[in-house]
A = this chain, B = another copy of it.
Amino acid sequence: MSLIVAKFGGSSVADAPSVLRVAKRVVEAKNAGNQIVVVVSAMGDTTDELLDLAQQISPNPPGRELDMLLTSGERISMAVLAMAINDLGVEARSYTGSQAGLITDSKHGRARIIDVTPSRILEALNDGAIPIVAGFQGVAQDTKDITTLGRGGSDTTAVALAAALDADVCEIYTDVDGIFSADPRIAPSARQVPRITYDEMMELAAAGAKVLHLRCVEYAKRFDVPIHVRSSFSDKEGTFVIADLEDQSKLVNLSKQGVIMEQPIIAGVAHDLGDAKITVTGVPDRPGTAAAIFQAVADAGINMDMIVQNVSVHGSGQTDVTFTCPRDGVAHAESALRDVQGEIGFEDILTDSNIAKISLVGAGMRSHPGVSANFFKAIADAGVNVEMISTSEIRISVVTRADDAKKTVEAVHTAFGLDADGQAVVYGGTGR
């Protein structure tokens, strides 16, 4: 008997027929001999509708009250899902984040989980009932106020509960079949990846892959919770996210595919069209000026991603500093920089929202020195100009024109044999 935490997103419970379908699926999993805990997001567009209502009332509502408002969304979905399951003859009991023991700090709208005390969930499981837990929400340890976890919150709730309950797997049900080697909407030959490591998944998430949020993968890695990303519309096995592709012992009872012996060098190609590029020109080339620029941007609450500083042109005493940040932070960042322009003494600020970031991610690149060369050759052969470069141990990212994003992703995807008809090339690695 496995203990499964299964999370269903808003699109999986968008309306009454969807709720009934999810209920059937949950009951089947239970009747197959598993213990199951369900985590559920708000139905369909509920959260957006509640945000609309808040906007009609107040331009800038207090975080405490916005959290109180938004948490009504999961309250609705979890109650109706529990009703639907009960109608199938299996007892189900819904629990708010607070009732399920999701203890957070008190940072409304982006609370961090600091403890999980799921005694009522365990009680329900012991009674043979299916607990249905509201995703995305918790209760603040100090103020006892209701909090929300922010982006990726429901996935994080599911992983955190799975960790606290020592579950065998955390299933994340979504509207795609799993993690893909690229976004199938721009690279039609993308294929589903059967296994991926936490580290690769985190790099992909940070690089723009949308299926799993970085934060929930970090949590899963920390507590070594296997994640199974799969479709709520089919029974197909999806993608398992685990610590180490060579140690698949945790999947023995979970995956029909068994252990996969040969591992790919590359997990996938991600793209991100949500960033913009800001270049600060004519920066005096002396210690501390770059730091002053980054401090100004950070103080404005803007996250910088890639950063490049040009070599100072000999004799000019000046340099350019370029960085990327989320597109919706550009105006804010620019105004923060204008405030310190006199003090720092740079010349100008150029902004460019017409960029794409393309990233190649794979744990195998640690031990395969040819990866970078192959990557840049593919981009050059596609006639795409690279504007910025950054790397981590298992990722290479470039910035290109936004218009070149599709071409670049497809070229790289093909070059690394990731296309659906080129799997022989993919599973070639013995170096890891």
**B62 close to A68 (CB less than 8 A):** no
- A87 adjacent to chain B (CB < 8 Å): yes
**A79 close to B83 (CB less than 8 A):** no
Closest residue of B by beta carbon distance from A99: B144
- A50 adjacent to chain B (CB < 8 Å): yes
Q: A75-B75, A86-B62 are in contact. Are A68 and B54 (CB under 8 A)?
A: no
Within 8 A of B (CB), among A1-42: 16, 19-20
Shortest A17–chain B CB gap in Å is 9
Once the chains are docked, how many angstroms separate the CA of A66 from the CA of B86? 12
Shortest A65–chain B CB gap in Å is 4
Shortest A26–chain B CB gap in Å is 14
B contact residues around A19 at 8 Å (CB): 57
- A80 adjacent to chain B (CB < 8 Å): yes
Closest residue of B by beta carbon distance from A69: B79
A82's partner among B68, B92, B94, B99 (CB-CB below 8 A) is B68
Name the prevailing secondary structure of the A interface residues: helix
Interface size on A, residues (CB 8 A): 36
- A76 adjacent to chain B (CB < 8 Å): yes
- A64 adjacent to chain B (CB < 8 Å): yes
B contact residues around A57 at 8 Å (CB): 16, 19-20, 80, 83-84, 87
A50's partner among B66, B76, B99 (CB-CB below 8 A) is B76
Once the chains are docked, how many angstroms separate the CA of A83 from the CA of B57? 7
Within 8 A of B (CB), among A50-79: 50, 53-54, 56-59, 61-62, 64-66, 68-69, 71-73, 75-76, 78-79
B contact residues around A16 at 8 Å (CB): 53, 56-57
Q: Name the residue among A54, A61, A80 with the largest chain B CB count within 10 angstroms.
A: A80
B contact residues around A80 at 8 Å (CB): 53-54, 57-58, 65, 69
Shortest A403–chain B CB gap in Å is 42
- A93 adjacent to chain B (CB < 8 Å): yes
Shortest A149–chain B CB gap in Å is 17
Q: A72-B75, A76-B72 are in contact. Are A83 and B62 (CB under 8 A)?
A: yes
B contact residues around A54 at 8 Å (CB): 79-80, 83
Identify the 4 closest CB pairs spanning chains A and B, nearest first: A69-B79, A16-B56, A72-B72, A68-B79
Please list 25 pairs of residues, one from A and one from B, whose beta carbons are closer than 8 Å in the complex, sorted by A's number: A19-B57, A50-B76, A54-B79, A54-B80, A57-B80, A57-B83, A58-B86, A58-B87, A61-B86, A62-B82, A62-B83, A64-B93, A65-B79, A65-B83, A65-B86, A65-B92, A66-B79, A66-B83, A68-B79, A68-B94, A69-B79, A69-B80, A72-B76, A72-B79, A99-B144
